């Protein structure tokens, strides 16, 4: 299995659908932002072949060459997004969801009206610059996975109930139904109304916070001399210690000391109905492969099992038309070995789905293949109370 994100280049093109005028082009190489731009002739050809198909009532969605995958997507007959990836092992599922997240980011920071009713192309180009940092975060390597799973990246602090109570009280006192605590772009706790936000809003908002630079301009809370001179102290002073325990969680996602089998090198747990996920490659951090490679292996494995083995996530059109007989025949567990084929070598990847939960594990080479399902089942039962 190829490792998604290994070297290679990703080019993202945004064009006005009616005129084909480029609105922006963003690129990354080896997971890092790049200045490399595609020639205008290539951009025109990629858009032209898509428009040619539309004129013949043929929807061109993707294509592959020997070393590049291309995906097109049109939004509201106004914006066309095109992504080209030469990354090894990249999948169409990954690129399709990338385009959905990019358009969501554009709407988040510019507004749908500006994108569906383009009055001035040059002004729109300037306004879209505000989305570059967020868009670039989808193109590069990330410690999060919500862009691919379309589930909210979460962390589980030791004293989540205290933080949840403080957040709910603070949101009520502040007169808002929407509030969340975020660490490293992952949600620690959120109000009920915040969790009812749809996709991609609930994914994009913490991702936006996580993409901000440490010294970015931001809103500051203030103490109103007469109206609420002690509002913040009232709700957050009693939970300062639990708040501090959230700071180092970040990529670890799980509480310190959470019992995981020593062979587990990384995991992705999804709750497909709640649209939340836990993603970490921190267990046994001193072993090979590197954290970056672990993330790539799990992302590639997720794309593989979602596209070929497991049923679509609940709520998708495909799921609604799929009959019960078909669903009964879908496998609920699978595994593969990545790397050398010699016995006792190669990392194991196993996926298991029970009810609304789907668990993906990256396991060390020492773990016997015949025990993978038992290991995954035990791990899923241990994680179930958390998500």
Residue-wise pLDDT for 273-315, tens only, equals 999 999 999 876 677 888 889 999 999 999 999 988 886 665 5
Measured CA distances, 150 to 121, 130, 200 (Å) = 30, 22, 7
pLDDT of residue 320: 47
Helix axes 92-110, 201-211, angle to 10 degrees: 80
Stretches where the chain sits below pLDDT 70 are: 1-7, 214-230, 284-285, 311-330, 340-344
- Pick one of 3.30.450.70, 3.60.70.12, 3.30.450.20, 3.30.70.2740 as the CATH number of 9-141: 3.30.450.70
Of 147, 133, 28, which Cα lies nearest the Cα of 99? 147
Evaluate whether 9-141 and 254-386 have a shared fold: yes
User: Do β-strands 357-363 and 9-16 pair in parallel, antiparallel, or remain unpaired?
Assistant: unpaired
| Residue 182 near residue 132 (C-beta atoms within 8 A) | no
What's the CATH fold of domain 254-386? Beta-Lactamase (3.30.450)
pLDDT at position 213 is: 75
- Contacts of residue 125, defined as CB under 8 A and 6 or more positions apart, other chains included, come to 23, 24
Sheet holding 264-271, edge to edge: 152-153, 276-280, 264-271, 357-363, 347-354, 333-338
Q: How far apart are CA 212 and CA 205, in angstroms?
A: 11
* Nearest-angstrom CA–CA distance, 117 and 123: 12
Residue pointed to by tokens 């975060």? 137
Q: Is the Cβ–Cβ distance between 103 and 40 less than 8 Å?
A: no
Q: How many CB atoms lie within 10 A of CB 340?
A: 10
Its pTM stands at 0.85
Closest to 81 in 3D by CA, of 15, 129, 19? 15
pLDDT in tens, 155-201: 998 888 999 999 999 899 888 898 999 988 899 999 999 999 888 88
d(CA 40, CA 239): 55
- Backbone torsion region of residue 364, taken as left when φ is above 0, otherwise alpha when ψ lies between -120 and 50, otherwise beta: beta
Residue ranges of the domains in the chain? 9-141, 158-248, 254-386
Joined together, the tokens standing for residue 11 give: 């080019």
The predicted structure's pLDDT at residue 329? 67
Query: From CA 330, how far away is CA 162, in angstroms rounded?
Result: 41
pLDDT of residue 160: 87
257's CB contacts (< 8 A; 6+ apart) are: none
Tell me what pLDDT residue 215 has: 56
Burial pattern 277-303, b for ≥16 Cβ within 10 A else e, equals bbbbbbbbeeeebebebbbbbbbbbbb
Q: Edge to edge, what strands does the sheet with 32-34 contain?
A: 32-34, 22-29, 9-16, 79-85, 69-75, 62-64
């Amino acid at each position: 299995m190829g490792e998604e994100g290994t070297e290679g280049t990703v080019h993202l093109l945004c064009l006005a659908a009616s005129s084909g005028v480029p609105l922006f082009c963003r690129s990354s190489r080896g997971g890092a932002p790049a200045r490399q731009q595609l020639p205008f002739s290539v951009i025109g050809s990629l858009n032209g072949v898509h428009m040619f198909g539309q004129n013949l009532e043929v929807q061109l969605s993707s294509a592959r060459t020997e070393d590049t995958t291309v995906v097109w997507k049109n939004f509201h007959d106004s914006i066309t997004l095109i992504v080209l990836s030469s990354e090894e092992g990249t999948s169409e599922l990954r690129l399709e969801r990338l385009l959905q997240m990019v358009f969501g980011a554009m709407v988040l920071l510019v507004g749908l009206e500006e994108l569906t009713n383009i009055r001035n192309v040059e002004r729109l180009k300037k306004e879209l610059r505000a989305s570059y940092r967020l868009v670039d975060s989808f193109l590069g390597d990330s410690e999060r996975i919500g862009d691919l799973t379309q589930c909210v990246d979460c962390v589980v602090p030791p004293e989540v109930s205290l933080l949840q109570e403080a957040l709910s009280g603070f949101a009520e006192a502040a007169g808002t139904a929407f509030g969340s605590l975020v660490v490293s772009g992952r949600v620690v706790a959120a109000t009920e109304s915040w969790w009812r936000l749809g996709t991609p809003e609930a994914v994009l908002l913490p991702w936006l916070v996580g993409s901000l630079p440490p010294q970015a301009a931001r809103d500051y809370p203030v103490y109103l001399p007469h109206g609420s001179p002690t509002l913040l102290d009232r709700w957050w002073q009693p939970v300062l210690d639990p708040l501090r325990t959230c700071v180092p969680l970040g990529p670890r996602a799980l509480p310190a000391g959470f019992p995981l089998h020593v062979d587990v090198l990384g995991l992705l747990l999804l709750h497909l109905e709640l649209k939340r996920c836990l993603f970490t490659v921190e267990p046994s951090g001193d072993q090979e492969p590197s954290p970056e490679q672990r993330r790539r292996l799990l992302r590639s494995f997720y794309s593989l099992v979602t596209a070929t083995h497991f049923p679509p996530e609940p709520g998708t059109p495909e799921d609604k038309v799929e009959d019960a007989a078909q669903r009964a025949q879908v496998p609920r567990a699978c595994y593969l070995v990545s790397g050398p084929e010699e016995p006792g070598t190669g990392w194991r990847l196993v996926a298991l789905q029970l009810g609304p939960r789907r668990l993906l594990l990256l396991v060390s080479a020492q773990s016997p293949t015949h025990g993978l399902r038992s290991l995954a089942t035990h791990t899923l039962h241990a994680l179930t109370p958390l998500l």
